[in-house]
Structure 1
């Protein structure tokens, strides 16, 4: 099943973060522009023409995060939003991070 067809599953911890090979395999399935930082988290900067567009994007992302039960860290600027995703319960990457 492709990542786009999956939903996030609750993660209570107790499992290891993804290995480098698992990260590489899953990264190939997500949109270009996402970077893996230190095998720990995903980061991507989204650019917009003004704050209103940035804010609208953040609100849509917040709705998706609530639906999936998996919440990114979002840095909001006038014309961009920087999104960081990792699974806090395991302090690293899980499949959920690539689904969101």
Structure 2
């Protein structure tokens, strides 16, 4: 796991495995320090997710950012949930097939950060 998350590729996850444990999440969350692990309720279950808000000067910049995220998400075969608020984009990432977190979520978070960090 010492390999940078940014050079890893998401692997197909179609279920049949357990979400990451709290220990595994703790080991990876430090690799995406600007993201937080938060629980949401989905279909009557509490699910651990990665969440982050990205801020921009205006709506145009926010949408340009999302077009770049679209390219990464399609390339990785892993897609975030997001909500646009004029100059802000709220992201929530989790693996729907397992109702929780998978290494793919951390890979996508890291690659998304790279877009704003350059």
Q: Which residue of 1 aligns with 2:15?
A: 13
Structure number with the higher strand fraction is: 2
Q: Which residue of 2 aligns with 1:35?
A: 36
C-alpha displacement of 1:2: 2.5
Name the TM-score, length of structure 2 as normaliser: 0.81
Q: Which residue of 2 aligns with 1:26?
A: 28
**In 2, Cα distance between the equivalents of 1:45 and 1:98?**
15
Gaps of 5+ in 2: 40-46, 109-118
Name the TM-score, length of structure 1 as normaliser: 0.94
Superposition CA RMSD, Å: 1.0
Residues 52-77 of structure 1, C-alpha deviation per residue, up to 9 Å, x if partnerless? Answer: 00000111111100000000001011
Residue 48 in structure 1 maps to residue 56 in structure 2: yes
C-alpha displacement of 1:49: 0.6
Of 75, 90, 96, which aligns to 2:104?
Answer: 96
**In 2, Cα distance between the equivalents of 1:5 and 1:80?**
27
Secondary structure of the residue aligned to 2:96 is coil
Secondary structure of the residue aligned to 2:61 is helix
Gaps of 5+ in 1: none
> Matched residue pairs, number?
99
Structure number with the higher helix fraction is: 2
